[in-house]
Structure 1
Amino acid sequence: MMGNSHENKDLSSPSGDIDDEIVAPVAPAAPIEDPSVIAADDAASIQTLDSTEDESRPRVQIVVRRRLPGARLDKYLTGRFPKVSRTTIQRLIKQGEVLVNGRPTKNSYEMEGDDVIDITFPPPPVYDVSPEDIPLNIIYEDDFVLALNKPVGIICHPASRTQGGTIANALAFYCKSLSRGGDVFRPGIVHRLDKNTTGVMIVAKTDEAHWRLAAQFENRTTTKVYIAVVHGNPEFDEDVIDVPIGQHPTVHDRYVASGLAERMGGKFEKKLGKSAVTRYKVLKRYQGFSLVELHPRTGRTHQLRIHMSHIRHPIVGDPFYGGRNISLRDVTGRPSDSAEPRFCRQMLHAQRLVVQHPIHQTPLEVVAPVAADMQELMDLLEHRPLIHPTGSKRGR
């Protein structure tokens, strides 16, 4: 909730080296279905306009700053809106929903300097997230955003196997209004945490807030700090893990890093891997366990869990990636304590998030207290023998 000196990219104006600027994004009552369809550079210059005649039809206007030799209109727009398919763009052009300098044109039109492109998108789909009275731990709130401390055991939004009991359902009950910029089942949700990961989540109440926050995550100008309890003691006190992550070779909803796939009996497909970078710092070393601080520089699915497993120090309670559920006896070493599994979810917590406030343009820092079960484990570990730091650092 407090400001600090962390510097983020100014999102109030476009960067100086882009070729165009979105100057007329969308009517406030009818935002684009998914704000991430707008390329990150474009999102920097978004401003909310008055409603158009048909408030259900989002409109975007782009001014091309300089001539782009050989740039076809359909390919150009596909590049500017990477999550809108080229087929959709071509259909909009054919239907006259894309105007260049006020006139319909062809997919093959080559862009010129000072061209003004007006795009009218289809209406966004109707939202269907049922409000549910699920308690939320709100740790920051104003008219544009809120931040919550996500509890364990709850997913962020409805999915094919889970239609209720999610953060999205809880937000639909709690908030009078939420951004409609994301997926139809994710109103307000700018980023996600895994089901059994706890900690800071930021939520957008308005479309403009959503676009600007999404741009920060896309441009990696946020600061995200996690803490985790891992098995064993890493070789270095600090290091950077720079290892691509890709789809698991045989399990649909699991991901792997290069090298880890082979240990799991599969093969890593390099062509499917995406760049993933995590910096870690060992905060405390105990006999058999370590408390680590994790700084993801990219935001791949399961990234922190995979990277810690990759260096052979998986997160406690994460059997998906090699971590074990542990008992009280495992922690205390006392034969009289229960051997029944007690810590049975990944001990991973999103502790701190720093963003540029999407409207006020000032640093916004939110810190979330650790969940009770993880705090219990951390307290118990304090009674284990401490291991001295190695004094070795690596990475950048």
Structure 2
Amino acid sequence: MPDSDSPLHELVVTAEEAGRRVDQYLATLFEGVSRGQIRKAIEAGHVTIDGINCRPAHKLTVGELLVYPTVEPRSDEQVGNSSIQLDIIYQDDRIAAINKPAGMITHPAKGQWKGTLTEALRGNFAQLSTSGGPTRPGIVHRLDRDTSGVILIAKDDEAHEYLKKQFQDRTTEKEYFALVVGAPDRDRDMINQPIGPHPKIRERMAIRRGDDEGKEAQTFYEVIERYNGFAAVKALPKTGRTHQIRVHLAHAGHPVLCDPHYGGRRVLTLGELKHDDSDAVVIGRTALHARRLAIAHPDDSQIREFLAPLPQDIMQAQAKLKELRPAT
């Protein structure tokens, strides 16, 4: 349930939200909060439509004014778990750098409260920043579930805000490694295309030119090695839009290998490389890794560089591409 001093938010319903149940819509806004909690907040009179209390099943209509509070997860959903081992690249009294494994979500999402990075952080660190809210202790930025690699953690709120501002000001240096489908013609290029929510598929982003939904986004990439039908690339995002590298590389005609949203496949099998019936999996997750992050430290403003070596699954997939699909 929201606190009595919980801030209120207002939304004039547009065509994008229209037709959705109010409880279903609100559940998409608060990560780590169950639909049951949302319904209780509505039934307690904390949510109004045009100034009148509504029912959870009310369907939103264009032009309605929806007013709702911030709903926080229950305290029993904010528990640490010290049994989740973390690969700590670096830590001191102010910050930590973690090598996040693929398959781990950064912070709780709807129906996904266990096995998160934040659960592991609570179980392994005595102090974490609170600036990101109760569901995101220490979290300054995020990586997608299937993206492995460097993620930075703040241990106090002052450090959190210092680091966060660098991401906002685009002064950080981020480098990713990706295996992609197809071999780019150019050795290097800058992709400069605006990104916004997909107009039809809520879980995806898309190139949005010529409308207010698209936000400026730039990704520089460089080919590391070419194979027959695939390539290894280095990607340096200049901005930090959701799914940016994945959307940009797909737009360039070279989606990240095994990206189910933007590449059309979840796994690469040995049979696909050898042109036979083998169903052995070469790699079964989005082949994207946050390899390097350089950022100024909150203590002395000096640049620190954090590196995460390529994980075993990506190294093995790259080795198979070299062996079975050498460049011609």
TM-score, normalization: structure 2? 0.74
User: Hey, what's the Cα distance between the residues in 1 that align with 2:95 and 2:74?
Assistant: 20
Q: 1:1-396 residue pairs with structure 2 within 5 A?
A: 128=75, 129-133=78-82, 134-258=84-208, 270-324=211-265, 325-331=267-273, 333=274, 335=276, 338-387=278-327
User: Hey, what's the Cα distance between the residues in 1 that align with 2:121 and 2:260?
Assistant: 30
Alignment partner of 1:304: what SS?
Answer: helix
Instruction: Quickly say closer, same or farther: Cα 1:248–1:269, change in 2 above 3 A.
Output: farther
User: Hey, what's the Cα distance between the residues in 2 that align with 1:386 and 1:236?
Assistant: 18
User: Hey, what's the Cα distance between the residues in 2 that align with 1:126 and 1:213?
Assistant: 25
User: Hey, what's the Cα distance between the residues in 1 that align with 2:169 and 2:300?
Assistant: 19
Alignment partner of 1:270: what SS?
Answer: coil
Is this contact kept in 2: 1:315–1:323, CA < 8 A?
A: no
Stretches of structure 1 that go unaligned for 5 or more consecutive residues are: 1-32, 34-124, 259-267, 389-396
Is this contact kept in 2: 1:246–1:270, CA < 8 A?
A: no
Q: Which amino acid aligns with 1:130?
A: V
User: Hey, what's the Cα distance between the residues in 2 that align with 1:221 and 1:127?
Assistant: 36
Instruction: Quickly say closer, same or farther: Cα 1:132–1:205, change in 2 above 3 A.
Output: same
Q: Which amino acid aligns with 2:183?
A: N
Q: Which amino acid aligns with 1:343?
A: I
User: Hey, what's the Cα distance between the residues in 1 that align with 2:152 and 2:191?
Assistant: 26
User: Hey, what's the Cα distance between the residues in 2 that align with 1:188 and 1:385?
Assistant: 42
User: Hey, what's the Cα distance between the residues in 2 that align with 1:269 and 1:320?
Assistant: 23
Is this contact kept in 2: 1:178–1:188, CA < 8 A?
A: yes
Q: Which amino acid aligns with 2:97?
A: A
User: Hey, what's the Cα distance between the residues in 2 that align with 1:343 and 1:296?
Assistant: 24
Q: What is the deviation of 1:235? A: 1.8
Stretches of structure 2 that go unaligned for 5 or more consecutive residues are: 1-5, 7-71
Q: Which amino acid aligns with 1:229?
A: L
Is this contact kept in 2: 1:127–1:185, CA < 8 A?
A: no
Q: What is the deviation of 1:370? A: 1.3
Q: Deviations over 1:195-239 (max 9, x none)?
A: 000000010011111010001000000000000000011121100
User: Hey, what's the Cα distance between the residues in 2 that align with 1:358 and 1:167?
Assistant: 22
Q: Deviations over 1:67-105 (max 9, x none)?
A: xxxxxxxxxxxxxxxxxxxxxxxxxxxxxxxxxxxxxxx
Is this contact kept in 2: 1:316–1:323, CA < 8 A?
A: no
Q: Which amino acid aligns with 1:286?
A: Y
Identity value in percent: 42
Q: Which amino acid aligns with 1:387?
A: A
Q: Which residue of 2 aligns with 1:108?
A: none
**Runs of 4+ in structure 1 displaced over 4 angstroms?**
none
Q: Deviations over 1:20-52 (max 9, x none)?
A: xxxxxxxxxxxxx9xxxxxxxxxxxxxxxxxxx
Q: What is the deviation of 1:385? A: 4.9
Alignment partner of 1:375: what SS?
Answer: helix
Q: What is the deviation of 1:319? A: 1.7
Q: Which amino acid aligns with 1:326?
A: L
User: Hey, what's the Cα distance between the residues in 2 that align with 1:291 and 1:177?
Assistant: 38
Aligned Cα RMSD in Å? 1.9
User: Hey, what's the Cα distance between the residues in 2 that align with 1:160 and 1:327?
Assistant: 31
User: Hey, what's the Cα distance between the residues in 2 that align with 1:286 and 1:323?
Assistant: 20
- Higher Rg: 1
Q: What is the deviation of 1:132? A: 1.0
Matched residues, number: 254
Q: Which residue of 1 aligns with 2:27?
A: none
Q: What is the deviation of 1:341? A: 4.1
Alignment partner of 1:309: what SS?
Answer: helix
